[in-house]
């Protein structure tokens, strides 16, 4: 049984690692981003409200987010442990989570923080290019075209989406770094933070996180 929060900036591989760890440990993976996207697709009142903020790239207000998450962790499938991905994102959310867990004599036990150097994050996040004609997708780090900037299948010039352009990515990283670092300090003060090297093969990163979890069980 393990209750944990996973921290990491965009591009650090947090979503993939959360899934790997949850399946390795047989615990529930809870992503508040996925919950909001599902609510929005189902057009529930929560989903419609959340969508207004998500479409502007803003955080959904704390009261809505906290009550949704606290209800979710009360469900039966969360009883044997969970890994939170994308929650908390504010100190108020972290405090609300601590108070709720304490009332059922539980607590967050460990907070792995996947750290990746800034230049590598930028390379991962700005590397995506697509073909406007045949929609093929490339990545300069993981799936580069044979000729730089040219589609392998149809020879068209590849384009970069505005979200993937360096200026936009830098702003996104800066905003995320602000709240991620604040939460890292919050959990460090509770002696729960464990920094994990997020470079190298994904399976190695999974192993590093597993050894952090092993320390507490
Ligand atoms: P994610 O997939 O984690 O990047 O989340 C997608 C979007 O959902 C975010 O940009 C926010 O608008 C919203 N969201 C997810 N988790 C939270 C949270 N803990 N607090 C506030 N908003 C959130």
- The rounded percent of the chain whose pLDDT value lies above 90 is 84
CA–CA dist 140, 143 (Å, integer):
6
- Spacing, Cα 52 to ligand 1 middle (Å): 12
| Identified catalytic residue from 115, 170, 172, 192 | 172
131 alpha carbon – ligand 1 mean position (Å): 29
The number of CA neighbours under 13 Å toward the Cβ of 171 is 8
- 14, 124, 194, 208: the active-site residue: 14
**DSSP class of residue 143?**
B
Tell me the two tokens of residue 4: 């944990």
66 CB within 6 A, ligand 1: no
Local confidence band at 161 (pLDDT 50, 70, 90 cut-offs)? confident
Question: How high is the pLDDT of residue 57?
Answer: 83
What does residue 186 show for φ and ψ, rounded to 5 degrees? Answer: -55, -45
Q: Please tell me if the CB atom of residue 25 comes closer than 6 angstroms to any atom of ligand 1.
A: no
Mean pLDDT score across all residues of the chain:
94
pLDDT at position 217 over 80: no
Whether ligand 1 lies within 6 angstroms of the CB of 2 is answered as no
Tens of pLDDT, residue by residue over 29-74, are 999 999 999 999 999 999 999 999 988 888 999 999 999 999 999 9
Cβ neighbours of 165 (radius 10 Å): 12
Average pLDDT over residues 157-169: 89
Percent of residues, the chain, with pLDDT higher than 70: 100
- Beta strands in the chain, from DSSP E residues, in sequence order: 2-8, 28-31, 81-85, 111-115, 128-130, 137-139, 193-197
Q: Which domains does the chain have, with CATH numbers?
A: 2-27+80-116+171-214 (3.40.50.300)
Confirm if 154 and 146 have CB atoms less than 8 A apart: no
Is the beta carbon of 8 within 6 A of some atom in ligand 1? no
Tell me the pLDDT tens digit for each residue of 132-143: 999 899 998 889
| Catalytic residue check, 194 | no
pLDDT at 66: 97
């Amino acid at each position: 049984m393990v209750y944990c929060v996973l921290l990491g900036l965009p591009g650090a591989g947090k979503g993939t690692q959360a899934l790997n760890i949850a399946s390795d440990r047989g615990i529930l993976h809870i992503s508040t981003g996925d919950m909001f996207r599902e609510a929005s697709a189902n057009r529930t009142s929560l989903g419609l409200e959340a969508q207004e903020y998500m479409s502007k790239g803003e955080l959904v207000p704390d009261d809505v987010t906290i009550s949704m998450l606290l209800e979710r962790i009360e469900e039966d499938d969360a009883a044997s442990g969970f890994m939170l991905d994308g929650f908390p994102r504010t100190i108020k959310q972290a405090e609300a989570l601590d108070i709720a867990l304490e009332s059922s004599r539980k607590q967050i036990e460990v907070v792995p923080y996947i750290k990746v150097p800034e230049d590598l994050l930028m390379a991962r996040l700005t590397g995506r290019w697509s073909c406007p004609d045949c929609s093929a997708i490339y990545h300069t780090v993981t799936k580069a075209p044979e000729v730089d900037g040219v589609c392998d299948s149809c020879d068209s010039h590849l384009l970069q989406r505005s979200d993937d352009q360096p200026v936009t990515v830098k702003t996104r990283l800066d905003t995320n770094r602000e709240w991620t670092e604040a939460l890292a300090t919050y959990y460090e003060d509770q002696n729960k933070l464990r920094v994990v090297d997020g470079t190298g093969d994904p399976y190695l990163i999974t192993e590093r996180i597993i050894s952090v979890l092993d320390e507490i069980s």
